[in-house]
Structure 1
């Protein structure tokens, strides 16, 4: 009898508190919009943070609750973006897949070196020492900071130059933010002929420092039938809205600086 009473009391208390907790969970429950979970299903799940939010869950909530664009995730596919837009009842318009591109060809064998670097293998650290090892102040430092920042293993290093592996790149932009030289750019995946150089030195200096540097000779500008090329600050620039991808600029470039980056995976080889 002495055992039955305590057991009954404890059981009764357990039942009482259980009912109370069940009631409280319903009264104080936070209602979650079902669309958040559905939007989450159409996101890639990389949680890379390239969208500016904590991850895919945070972005899904922002899309539903704050009206953030379904295309905010640079990693998502065109199909995923369109599915989210349809779910939210909005028109996202034409979606252009982006890819990263290294605007440099200055490998260790093509760009002269100022010194032998033996410090921390980090581009930011080397950049503090006279802008890096290369005589070209604007070129790739080649110590792999972008490679380590890439969540998709889409960057490799060869001969002191970072290279994007297009089939792996998701266009998240993490490498763009990491590069201390600002020579990694996000461009539409269908972008063709590109000036693979960022050097703004005068022609003679640029040529001396790097075998494949743009020297601002303006030959490409003169031959372009679409008027898509201008030379500013000793550097040729292509307006891809005007470019017809005829390739005449690449044919006349004396430094082999212009390449069809969409079809030539590693034009510097």
Structure 2
């Protein structure tokens, strides 16, 4: 019996040694050198693993960057500082993309919307949406139970007293998790610098909207006709803004009769060009409505009748020759 155990141990040891040798040979023979830049790029990332870059996590994104499959500025959480560091690692130029943040396209809170009844079910947007649509009559409205708040990995969302999510643009990374979580699709990603937002997602006709919500879009098209750069169009009874075309002039918000369009921040009231102007024409080229005139190397002027106070000329000028005046400056 002892001899059986002895030979069994010998044979098992031999098999183990053979397998170990085979594994060792395979490891050496089929070994693939990992680019050391992958680890460096991963170390430069914020390790949020949020998926905002479009990859499963920071390691996957780092590998994609090194392979040339992802841009060095593809991490919205890290911002310019991280993209600059990654660009240095990769020996390329910084290609940081514009920051985007989540925006709510519904202003119909508890105060503004009509109720269909009392909802006593699970306090979850998904649950309410599947059962009877919650308490609001408008089937496009925000349900307000905070599924977006719960899913946000950066604590950038909270539900206010009016039953609507408020988003901290500085804390938001644009990862899109809240958008995927919302059963009503009342969240979207918009440029961080955007100031004009249409706070409605209803595709009902104006007559029905008026009966269900005080601040809903009634498809009157006043914003569309007022926009000087054609950045708004009507899609199935709803005004939709094209952020790539929008110049943040705020004219659409002024014209909206229901307050559906919100302008964030203080509106520019007047634009003037001062004596610092060197006549480079950069401001004139930046103006979307051709409100600036002047000859090369001579002082330019703003036609106040045409100017839409968007401020693009101010951003284009590099000699501090453009002055912006706000309501507080003129009062």
Q: TM-score, normalised by structure 2?
A: 0.67
Cα distance change on mapping 1:71 and 1:206 into 2, 3 Å: same
SS at match of 1:128: helix
Q: CA offsets per residue over residues 197-228 of structure 1, 9 Å max, x none?
A: 11111111111111110101111122222222
1:201, 1:234 within 8 Å by CA — same for their partners in 2? yes
**1:171 corresponds to 2:143:** no
5+ unaligned residues in a row in structure 1: which ranges? 1-19, 265-269
Equivalent residue pairs, number: 244
Q: CA offsets per residue over residues 81-114 of structure 1, 9 Å max, x none?
A: 2332342244564520111111111111111121
- Structure 1 residue 32: deviation in Å? 3.2
Distance 2:243 2:53 in 1: 25
- Structure 1 residue 30: deviation in Å? 6.2
Cα distance change on mapping 1:222 and 1:177 into 2, 3 Å: same
- The residue that corresponds to 2:59 in the other structure is 57
5+ unaligned residues in a row in structure 2: which ranges? 1-19, 268-331
Tell me whether 163-172 or 142-151 shows the greater mean CA deviation.
163-172
**1:197 corresponds to 2:183:** no
Match 2:80 to one of 65, 78, 81:
78
Distance 2:121 2:137 in 1: 18
Q: CA RMSD of the aligned region, Å?
A: 2.6
1:193, 1:261 within 8 Å by CA — same for their partners in 2? yes
1:103, 1:183 within 8 Å by CA — same for their partners in 2? yes
Match 1:150 to one of 125, 146, 152:
152
Structure with the greater alpha carbon radius of gyration: 2
Q: CA offsets per residue over residues 24-77 of structure 1, 9 Å max, x none?
A: 699587643210111012211112233343421232223224633334433221
Write the mapping of 1:125-144 to structure 2, written as runs, cut at 5 A: 125-144=127-146
Distance 1:70 1:88 in 2: 8
- The residue that corresponds to 1:69 in the other structure is 71
